[in-house]
A and B are shown apart, each in its own frame.
Chain A
Amino acid sequence: NAGVMQNPRHLVRRRGQEARLRCSPMKGHSHVYWYRQLPEEGLKFMVYLQKENIIDESGMPKERFSAEFPKEGPSILRIQQVVRGDSAAYFCASSPRTGPSRNWETQYFGPGTRLLVL
Chain B
Amino acid sequence: GNSVTQMEGPVTLSEEAFLTINCTYTATGYPSLFWYVQYPGEGLQLLLKATKADDKGSNKGFEATYRKETTSFHLEKGSVQVSDSAVYFCALSAPISGGYNKLIFGAGTRLAVHP
Binds A, one of B11-19, B38-46, B58-66, B70-78: B38-46
Interface residue tally for chain B (C-beta within 8 Å): 25
Q: Are B32 and A55 in contact (CB under 8 A)?
A: no
Q: Which residues of A contact B89 (CB under 8 A)?
A: 42-43
Give every chain A residue within 8 A of B43 (Cβ-Cβ): 4, 6, 91, 109-112
Sample (16) of A-B pairs whose CB atoms are under 8 Å apart = A6-B43, A33-B102, A35-B103, A35-B105, A43-B44, A43-B103, A45-B102, A48-B100, A58-B97, A104-B101, A105-B51, A109-B45, A110-B43, A111-B43, A112-B42, A112-B43
A110 to B45 CA separation, bound complex (whole angstroms) = 9
Interface, chain B (partner A; CB < 8 A): 4, 32, 34, 36, 42-46, 49, 51, 89, 93, 96-98, 100-108
Interface of B, secondary structure class, is: strand
> Is A56 interfacial (CB 8 A cutoff)?
yes
Q: Is A63 an interface residue (CB 8 A)?
A: no
When chains A and B are docked, how far (Å) is the Cα of A107 from the Cα of B105? 12
Which of A43, A55, A91, A104 has a CB less than 8 Å from the CB of B98? A55
Query: Are B42 and A111 interface neighbours, CB within 8 A?
Result: yes
